[in-house]
Amino acid sequence: MTSKAKRKAGKQGRKSIPATAVTVATSPWDMGASGHANQDRMTIEARAHVEVETGEAINPNGVKGRRRKSWVEEYYTKGKLSGEGLAAAYRLYAAYQGHPAKDPIAAIDDVRVGGCSEPMATLIDSRREYYTMRASIPSDCLPIVAHVVLDDNPLRSMQGRNGGNDAQRFAMLDRGLCAMC
């Protein structure tokens, strides 16, 4: 028997699956990959629209999505970082990325004037805010703050850790962040 004849003989013996037996569950939203490594620091949250007049979050369709939490958020959730430290970390990261704190009154004045703000001046102001905040961090805490907040790396992956006292390093991280307050 030739190989072509063997293939034909094999196909004749197969049973087809009826179309009604196969179902694919559809999801109303995409949750991304579901592997174990992809779930690290992921949180599921509602994708709600905030109503401007009332300040109420509206999500009529119940749409949810996944977001990866930063290491600072993760440490705050575990109770290893204070609320002041978390707020300072958000401000430091925003200044590091070049997004200074937005002043709503200044934005209104900017609209009245015609929006003639200088983009280079805004960039320089954001860098100035970052360097001012960085200068207020104690020098012994600066490498830990830069590693966890700016680079978004876990504390356990820091160079020269050698299985030392993690509680002491978390205290240094919190002390460095709270020094900016």
Q: Which residues pair with 67 in a beta bridge?
A: 43
* Interval 133-157 mean pLDDT: 90
Q: How many helices (H) and strands (E) does the chain have?
A: 7, 4
The reported pLDDT for the residue numbered 13 is: 58
What is the total residue count of the chain? 181
| CA distance to 9, 22, 135, 178, per residue, from 70 (Å) | 58, 40, 23, 18
**Which pair of tokens denotes residue 125?**
């102001």
How many C-beta neighbours within 10 Å does residue 67 have?
12
The reported pLDDT for the residue numbered 36 is: 77
When pLDDT is cut at 50, 70 and 90, the band that residue 41 belongs to is confident
Residue 37 has pLDDT above 70, yes or no: yes
* Interval 144-152 mean pLDDT: 91
* Interval 146-168 mean pLDDT: 81
The reported pLDDT for the residue numbered 72 is: 93
- Following CA atoms 133, 138, 140, 144 in sequence, which dihedral angle do they give, to the nearest 10 degrees? -30
Lowest mean pLDDT among 14-23, 90-99, 145-154: 14-23
> What is the distance between the alpha carbons of residues 158 and 169, in angstroms, rounded to a whole number?
10
More confident: 1 or 133: 133
* Interval 135-152 mean pLDDT: 91
57-89 pLDDT, tens digit each: 888 777 888 888 899 999 999 999 999 999 999
Residue 90 has pLDDT above 60, yes or no: yes
Under a CB-based contact definition with an 8 Å cutoff, are residues 88 and 177 in contact?
A: yes
DSSP character for 157? G
When pLDDT is cut at 50, 70 and 90, the band that residue 128 belongs to is confident
